[in-house]
């Protein structure tokens, strides 16, 4: 297994559209890195440039220490699994898995051994003689994965491999992928628009927007220290709450005035603001689990009216509107269902100040 280096990689399509803008990233050997971001942000384009299916307009790609820009897809030692499995319907599972090896003229005995290895690894024992039509969606996806893995690729690229599966199967296959990655210690680049999938699978996540890399970090880093408002809103479900307002400072106090009332910044928040050097109109970000809510008046808290509760079984989510407003930005607070939180009440919400994010 080898690592990958992307140095100022750019993709400009023939019509002049810049789909990827100066992307730099290092993927270590054995690392699982996911590319996430909204539709059209350049995930697939980047993956296709790595695979050699799309020309790199500017910048350099290294596979291990070797510059790969001019290498053909075959010479790159990379295998790719697509969303649409692309299995050959007339071939058996075993023949599908062994197809690439046959093309490479690998001797029959060795081919057989590798196919057996893949069937075992992917929990497909006994299904080698079936045709793809006689398999479930998850089994088909594993065959597609097997076909890539038997080639012993230095890097494995997966483009939304689970998106054709139903929700339950996706979660099962997610665990399978995690197990396979651990077992093979493979270098994997994974494209998904599902942030939960990226969070659970990846060593690191690269978040893209409009062809720009917004942040690359471990799931915990991204969740706890998002680099900007976009990343903060993209990761986490339900998403982080954002409250926009005005920051006012005088010699004694720093106060934040918003539709949810006035909130006094403590020392922790003052330091955060000073470090970022921001003032005036700002946005605060706080996750639903980092707020406590009560119908009891609190001294320094955001105020609103509880209007809706969503029940998930293990948790409830209470949504709050600013007082006197019919429609507007809701704040969501996670609570335990036992609280049986009342609706249409005036409420006070106290955020954990150390968990508040400040954005300019």
Binding site for ligand ATP (CB under 6 A): 13, 15, 17, 19, 37, 39-45, 193
- In angstroms, what is the minimal distance from the CB of 202 to ligand ATP? 16
- In angstroms, what is the minimal distance from the CB of 107 to ligand ATP? 38
- In angstroms, what is the minimal distance from the CB of 25 to ligand ATP? 15
- In angstroms, what is the minimal distance from the CB of 83 to ligand ATP? 9
Phi, psi angles (nearest 5°) of residue 77: 65, 35
- Nearer to ligand ATP by C-beta: 48 or 111? 48
- In angstroms, what is the minimal distance from the CB of 254 to ligand ATP? 40
Q: Find out whether the peptide bond into 204 is cis, omega within 30 degrees of 0.
A: no
Q: Which residues does 79 contact at the CB level (< 8 Å), separation at least 6?
A: 100, 148, 149, 151, 153, 155, 156, 157
- In angstroms, what is the minimal distance from the CB of 117 to ligand ATP? 32
d(CA 312, CA 177): 27
Helix 137-149 × helix 93-103 angle, to 10°: 20
Q: Which residues does 302 contact at the CB level (< 8 Å), separation at least 6?
A: 243, 258, 260, 261, 263, 331, 348, 349, 350, 351
- Nearer to ligand ATP by C-beta: 15 or 220? 15
- Nearer to ligand ATP by C-beta: 43 or 140? 43
Task: Give the three-class secondary structure for 222.
Answer: helix
- In angstroms, what is the minimal distance from the CB of 144 to ligand ATP? 18
- In angstroms, what is the minimal distance from the CB of 52 to ligand ATP? 15
Encoded tokens for 94: 């075993």
d(CA 127, CA 120): 10
- Nearer to ligand ATP by C-beta: 39 or 72? 39
d(CA 262, CA 245): 9
Q: How far is CA 216 from the centre of its chain?
A: 10
d(CA 233, CA 207): 12
């Amino acid at each position: 297994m080898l690592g990958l280096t992307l140095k100022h990689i750019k993709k400009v399509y023939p019509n002049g559209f810049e789909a990827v803008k100066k992307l730099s990233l290092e993927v270590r050997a054995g690392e699982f890195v996911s590319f996430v971001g909204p539709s059209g942000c350049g995930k697939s384009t980047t993956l296709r440039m790595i695979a050699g299916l799309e020309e790199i307009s500017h910048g350099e790609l290294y596979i291990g220490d070797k510059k790969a820009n001019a290498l053909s897809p075959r010479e790159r030692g990379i295998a790719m699994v697509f969303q649409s499995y692309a299995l050959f319907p007339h071939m058996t599972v075993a023949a599908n898995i062994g197809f690439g090896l046959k093309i490479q003229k690998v001797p029959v005995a060795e081919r057989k051994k590798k196919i057996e290895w893949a069937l075992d690894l992917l929990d497909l024992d006994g299904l080698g003689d079936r045709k793809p039509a006689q398999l479930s969606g998850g089994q088909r996806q594993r065959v597609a994965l097997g076909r890539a893995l038997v080639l012993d690729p230095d890097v494995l690229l997966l483009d939304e491999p689970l998106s054709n599966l139903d929700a339950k199967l996706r979660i099962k296959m997610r665990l399978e992928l995690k197990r396979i990655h651990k077992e093979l210690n493979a270098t994997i680049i994974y494209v998904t628009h599902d942030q939960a999938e990226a969070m659970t699978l990846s060593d690191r996540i690269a978040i893209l927007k409009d062809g720009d890399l917004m942040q690359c970090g471990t799931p915990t880093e991204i969740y706890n220290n998002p680099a900007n408002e976009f990343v903060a809103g993209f990761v986490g479900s339900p998403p982080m709450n954002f409250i926009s307002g005005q920051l006012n400072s005088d010699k004694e106090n720093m106060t934040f005035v918003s539709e949810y009332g006035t909130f006094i910044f403590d020392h922790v928040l003052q330091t955060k603001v000073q470090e970022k050097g921001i003032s005036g109109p700002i946005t605060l970000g706080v996750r639903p689990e980092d707020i406590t809510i009560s119908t009891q008046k609190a001294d320094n808290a955001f105020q609103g009216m509880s209007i809706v509760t969503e029940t998930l079984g293990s948790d409830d989510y209470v949504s709050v509107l600013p007082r006197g407003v019919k429609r507007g930005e809701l704040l969501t607070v996670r609570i335990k269902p036992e609280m049986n939180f009342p609706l249409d009440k005036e409420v006070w919400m106290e955020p954990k100040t150390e968990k508040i994010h400040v954005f300019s």
